[in-house]
Amino acid sequence: NAGVTQTPKFQVLKTGQSMTLQCAQDMNHNSMYWYRQDPGMGLRLIYYSASEGTTDKGEVPNGYNVSRLNKREFSLRLESAAPSQTSVYFCASRIITGNTIYFGEGSWLTVV
């Protein structure tokens, strides 16, 4: 019962490098999300996708891009990583009418 799977779990980047966080869900959910979690800030929405082919900005989209590759997959790309992007990133998904959101286990990213 995989649910929401995100990779990699840990990553260290140098400032200016690029990388992509991958996310896949096997629950046939329509909506997918990327959040970042920082101490004292809680969860902040970066981007979300209400359905295949659509993406929208959340609260903190600057420095990120996303791709909804198909219904299952939603990737987050950092084109030029900055130390301020050091965080824990969570992918999530939900059935649009169900309102319960399901999270992956998180990706710990450090930018040095």
Q: Which residues contact 56 (CB under 8 A, 6 or more apart)?
A: 47, 48, 49, 50
Minimum distance, C-beta of residue 68 to other proteins, in the bound complex (Å): 13
Give residues 16-35 in contact with other proteins (rule: CB under 8 A).
31, 33, 35
Q: By rule CB under 8 A, what count of residues binds other proteins?
A: 26
Q: Give the residue among 6, 9, 14 at the shortest CA–CA distance from 33.
A: 6
Task: Pick left, alpha or beta for residue 106 (phi over 0 → left; psi -120 to 50 → alpha; otherwise beta).
Answer: left
With CB under 8 A as the contact rule, the residue among 48, 64, 66, 109 that binds other proteins is 48
Task: Give 79 or 105: the residue with its C-beta nearer to other proteins.
Answer: 105
If binding is defined by CB under 8 A, does position 101 make contact with other proteins?
yes
CA dihedral 21, 65, 69, 13 (to 10 degrees): -20
Can you give the binding site for other proteins, defined by CB under 8 A? 4, 31, 33, 35, 40-43, 45, 48, 50, 56, 58, 90, 92, 94, 96-97, 99-106
